């Protein structure tokens, strides 16, 4: 019998990144089109303006509801209706998807507002670069990636308290977080760069769209998925 292959964060992260190339490029092209439409297609401005006003007026309600829809409900229904993932996506998971992504929406809303207060709310290159660095190498590294790994571990263990108590915290920081970050950066650094080119009120809607399409694309092309989508 062959010995189990040793876990290697760099090797496994790069392997996952290579698998992510296809869906990542599709998603980056979609978001690039949206950003270019905002800046260079005047006919699109009324739609962007209405969305911006809706986000500004409804605040955290929009953040929670929209992110629960795009990050939670739509991907869950896709996984539930897909023959390949139906058996490992019970209806009991739906509440987790809705609650987790509603929370993530409010969290991202706070993140984007904090970054705007700290670094400004313009599309100047220095401002965008500063936000990307903080987003991916501070927020994502220290909080978003490990928290999402823990949350999906709890989900995939069917909310077992024992599985959570026996969680390997050393492996989390030594292996799992680096692997997720390496595989995620290749896709999401370009995506958040595009997101931060937009005004503050449009950043979360753009992030919601990116998250939704990323979960759908990766679920379709990168099965099996057992630890949740590698998004920020």
- Residue with token string 């915290």: 169
Which pTM does this prediction carry? 0.84
Q: Please list, in sequence order, all residues whose beta carbon lies within 8 angstroms of the beta carbon of residue 225, skipping any fewer than 6 positions away.
A: 85, 218, 219
Give the tokens for residue 94.
């739906």
**Rounded (10°) angle between helices 94-119 and 74-81:** 140
Q: Give how far Cα 101 sits from Cα of 4, 40, 76, Å.
A: 34, 32, 11
pLDDT by residue for the chain (232 residues), tens only, comes to 444 455 565 555 555 556 656 666 778 888 999 999 999 999 999 999 999 999 999 999 999 999 999 999 998 998 888 887 788 888 988 999 999 999 999 999 999 999 999 999 999 999 999 999 999 999 999 999 899 888 888 888 877 877 777 777 777 788 788 888 887 888 889 999 999 999 999 999 999 988 887 777 655 544 444 445 545 5
């Amino acid at each position: 019998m062959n010995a189990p292959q040793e876990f290697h964060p760099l090797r496994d992260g790069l392997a996952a990144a290579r698998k992510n190339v296809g869906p990542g490029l599709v998603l980056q092209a979609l978001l690039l089109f949206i950003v270019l439409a905002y800046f260079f297609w005047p006919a699109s401005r009324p739609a962007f303006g209405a969305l911006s006003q809706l986000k500004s007026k409804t605040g955290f309600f929009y953040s929670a509801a929209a992110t629960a829809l795009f990050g939670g409900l739509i991907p869950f229904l896709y996984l539930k209706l897909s023959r390949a993932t139906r058996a490992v996506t019970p209806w009991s998971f739906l509440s987790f998807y809705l609650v987790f992504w509603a929370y993530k929406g409010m969290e991202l809303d706070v993140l984007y507002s904090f970054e705007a207060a700290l670094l400004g709310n313009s599309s100047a290159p220095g401002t965008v670069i500063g936000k990307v660095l903080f987003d991916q190498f501070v927020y994502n590294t220290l909080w978003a990636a490990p928290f999402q790994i823990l949350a999906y571990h709890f989900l995939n263990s069917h909310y077992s308290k024992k599985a959570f108590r026996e969680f390997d915290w050393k492996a989390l920081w030594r292996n799992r977080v680096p692997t997720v970050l390496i595989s995620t950066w290749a896709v999401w650094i370009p995506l958040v760069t595009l997101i931060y080119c937009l005004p503050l009120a449009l950043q979360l809607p753009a992030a919601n769209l990116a998250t939704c399409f990323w979960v759908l694309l990766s679920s379709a092309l990168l099965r099996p998925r057992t630890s949740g989508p590698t998004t920020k």
